[in-house]
Chain A
Amino acid sequence: MPDERPLPADDHALFGFDDENAWLRRFRAAAMSENQPAGRIGPYEILGEIDRGGQGVVYRARRRGIARDVAVKRLRAGAFATDDARRRFEREIDIASTLAHPHIVRLFTIDEIDDQTVIAMEWIDGVPITDWARDRTVDEVLDAFRRVADAVHHAHLRGVIHRDLKPSNILVDGDGPHVLDFGLAKLVDGARDDDTLTEAFVGTPAWAAPEQIAGPAASVDARADIHALGLLLHHMLTGAAPYATDGTLAAAIDAVRTVTPGRPSASNPAVARDLDAIVGRCLAKAPADRYQSVAALVDDLDRLADGRPVLARPPSPAYLLRTLMRRHRIAAGAVVAFVLLAVVFASVLAIFIERTIDSQRVTAQVNRFMHESFAVAGPSREGGGDTTVLRMLDAAARRADAELADEPRVAAEVYFTIGSTYRRLWLYREAIPHLERAAALTRAVSGDDERLARILVVLGTALANSSRPDAVDVHREALAIRLAHLDADDPRVAEAKMRLGYALYHVARPRQFDEAERHLLDALATYRRASPGPHRDLASCLHNLGYMRLCQRRGADAETLYRAALDMLADLDLRDDPFYAECLHGYTGLLMGLGRHEDALVALDEAIPIVRDVYGDGWVATLHRRAAAAHDALGHFPEAVIAHRLAFLTTCAMLAVEHPDDDRTLDRLRRLVAESPPARPFPAHDALPLLRALADAPRTSLVQVLRRDASTRTRMGDEPAADALRRVIDALRET
């Protein structure tokens, strides 16, 4: 029976129940108090409390003068925090400063407010990834999951293990998933990890790996995150948590230790058996039985996407045959026939399968090579990774020199592939000799045909991008060949005209805008006739015209054309296309040139992750410099300071590609500065010797970044930081 004793008399009056209207006034005041502003912390207006964990309190907040909301975190115990809690918070800040990835929540500023450290992070207005995954296709789920895996891999490469990956820590908004809360993360290099060694368990039991529950924290490594990724993927595919999350702690712990989650395909028939195997491999109880790195997990997802055998499954002959049949439908009939014959010729089958396995391995190696060459440095790569790809390309060229002398057609194709790859990496000077050799070999073997025209178009583009006027002659030759062999309305003629147009206004001296405009408009008309709807070539032509208008100093016209090209590519779902990245890169420069800093920042927010995905860390240096300049112009000084620091780090990565002799020094410098958050003083003492050791050109580039940083610090009134930077600059000037 519920206890329904009445309210004591004194409380009766206190709540106004002794008066006809007083009680209503009390409740009105209570209801209104729920919507009152929560107050301020330093410069932040607190909009509401979001999370109160064991260590910190997170608020949604807004900073004066900055339109977007931020997540502000301070130590829960504030002035009463123990040294241990402060050290953990410091470590969390260090870790957050180390990570810069489009799918990891960004750290904006570190403030000292009344002796308390307060950090402001990116505010993600999203939903937990498992909620987002409901009613999504398996492909959509895998796409989002891969982004999360990339983010986790990025952290692992920097020695950071998350240890608490779960749906509430991975929110999805319009920009995709964002991994949050590295509050429990652990650094792999032991020096800064002492405070986690004593713990028996950190994390959330239902999302923990068995070893997180069983052993000391010190025994937990990156494979615990792989287990959590497996749980996450399982949940995303099936719509339910693999282990119950609503029972007692003991039940959750027991389940993690002993229960093997069912195959995702049992709940979702759209899940392939291979995907079951991948999830199962992640969820192995023993770390040694799981994927040993996130890269290996992603590699297996690639195999799944390509229809190749996944490594999560043992390569039984029957399995290999099934995979082959799926991949090569025509050949599959032959395989089936072969299998039937094999009942008689068992030994022949054995040889066949052996060859198949060998062929799979070779194909995998080639694919890996192609993937790394073309997709280039993804977000998970270190800046120095670009150098490795370049070395691989150089090695391939040397092998072609040595081994393909008697095969000029094959050699021409190899040189063309290598040259095109360099061009796509914006390494035009490296591309040109390979493309010239490809052109010379093709001219000798095939004469003036489409094969030659194709090579000349790429060569001409590389020459034009290197500001070489001879690009005009190469493009004229390509256009002449195509006009001689093809119909005037053929899109390939339009391509040649478009490229020639670019060379005419970009590298010809004097610039020949009139002829260029004629060719570009011709090309545009041809593309429109060929296919009335939006398509990539049309977007390319619009972009080209836009760039010409920019060169003609007709900024407004240029902006319209750039925007049209970008919208068209987005409509075509080509945001992953390197051309979209190139277009966006130019667009941000255009907006900066027009003084539209707010718009430029929006475009830069989109451009930076895309350009980094396509071209690697080094290529976003210019974008970070633009972001810093835009923030500085708008008076967003804390953001400008962060952008300057990112510009410094990415410039190091870019210079390492351009100056291979200095790449080790640059890498050391990058690591050193990456460990010093922007809010802390520039690590002048350690950085100076490294900067001094650099050749003149890379040192000058970095000094320019530091000089701009110093200027922002002065404008924001942080003279000590500005002075520290100026001392470095002055010391280098003496060098």
Chain B
Amino acid sequence: MPTDASTHPSLLRRVRDAHDHAAWRAFDRRYGPLILAFGRRIGLQVADAEDVRQAVMMNLARTLPGFRYDPAHGRFRTYLGRAVVHAVAELRRRHGRLRTLDVDHAAPETLDASWQDEWVRHHCRAALHTLRDEADPVHLAMFDAMLNGRSTATIAAMFEVSPAVVRKTRQRLRDRLRAIIARQIRAEETGDA
């Protein structure tokens, strides 16, 4: 699980140098779990998901030196998503089949939608980690209660505060998470900044 939400802006630039091993390790640490989670989400076994992760990194090492971020030509997440979906197809060709049934029949648009969902989840997980590092413990406890589906009234009773305080906290946490996500995505998209 990536915890370093504050993507170093020059990471994308650095990995264009295939010999910058430290940058590649950081890149793999950041996006490897996302690729694995995507693989697991579409039903790949661990071993296949690992192979996809490896194939993506190998393909990127070949293609990233020529990659220039241009919002007009799509965002980095789309670029990475295509690389991942391509790797799944490549692996299928290589093995003759994958050790899972669903993927063989999955339409490309299904894979794209799954990738987008997983990408959102990836950023949510990273934002949650940042929030847990910085937020007030009581607010975090309230947030956990919200995540667990407790109603505003129940949470107010649990924490002996008024429902208005709970609503206010919820709004603040939402704003904070939105800001964290915005920062993460900017860092991801401004790799050549």
Residues of A within 8 A of B (CB): 2-8, 11-12, 14-15, 17, 23-24, 26-31, 33-34, 36, 38-41, 46, 52, 57, 59, 74, 76-80, 113-114, 116
Contact = CB atoms under 8 A, between A and B. Distances in A.
A200 to B, nearest CB: 14
A12 B181 CA distance: 10
A39 B45 contact: yes
Contacts of A79: 51, 54, 91, 94-95
B120 A14 contact: yes
A52 B120 CA distance: 24
Contact of B45 (A33, A34, A40, A76): A40
Contacts of A31: 124-125, 128, 147
Contacts of A23: 174, 177-178
A52 B33 CA distance: 11
B51 A15 contact: no
Interface in B148-189: 149, 174, 177-179, 181-183, 185-186
Nearest to A32: B147
B181 A41 contact: no
Nearest to B148: A28
B37 A33 contact: yes
B192 to A, nearest CB: 15
Interface string B36-64: 01001000011101110011001000000
Interface of B: 1, 32, 37, 40, 45-47, 49-51, 54-55, 58, 91, 94-95, 99, 116, 120-121, 123-125, 127-128, 146-147, 149, 174, 177-179, 181-183, 185-186
The 9 closest A-B pairs by CB, nearest first: A30-B124, A7-B182, A78-B51, A39-B46, A30-B125, A30-B121, A80-B54, A77-B54, A79-B51
B125 A80 contact: no
B178 A114 contact: no
Contact of B147 (A8, A17, A27): A27
B121 A26 contact: yes
B182 A5 contact: yes
Nearest to B94: A79
Nearest to A42: B47
A80 B48 CA distance: 11
A26 B120 contact: yes
A4 B185 CA distance: 12
A33 B33 CA distance: 12
17 contacts: A3-B183, A5-B186, A6-B178, A24-B146, A24-B147, A26-B120, A27-B127, A29-B124, A33-B125, A34-B1, A34-B125, A36-B40, A40-B45, A46-B46, A74-B50, A79-B91, A114-B47
B121 A29 contact: yes
A3 B189 CA distance: 13
Contacts of A76: 50, 54
A26 B116 CA distance: 12
A40 B46 contact: yes
A30 B45 contact: no
A80 B62 CA distance: 15
Nearest to B119: A14
Given A46-B46, A80-B58, A17 B51 contact: no
A515 to B, nearest CB: 66
A116 B186 contact: no
A8 B178 CA distance: 11
Nearest to B28: A52
Contacts of A36: 40
Contacts of A34: 1, 125
Contact of B47 (A8, A29, A52, A78): A78
A8 B94 CA distance: 39
Contacts of A27: 124, 127-128, 147, 177
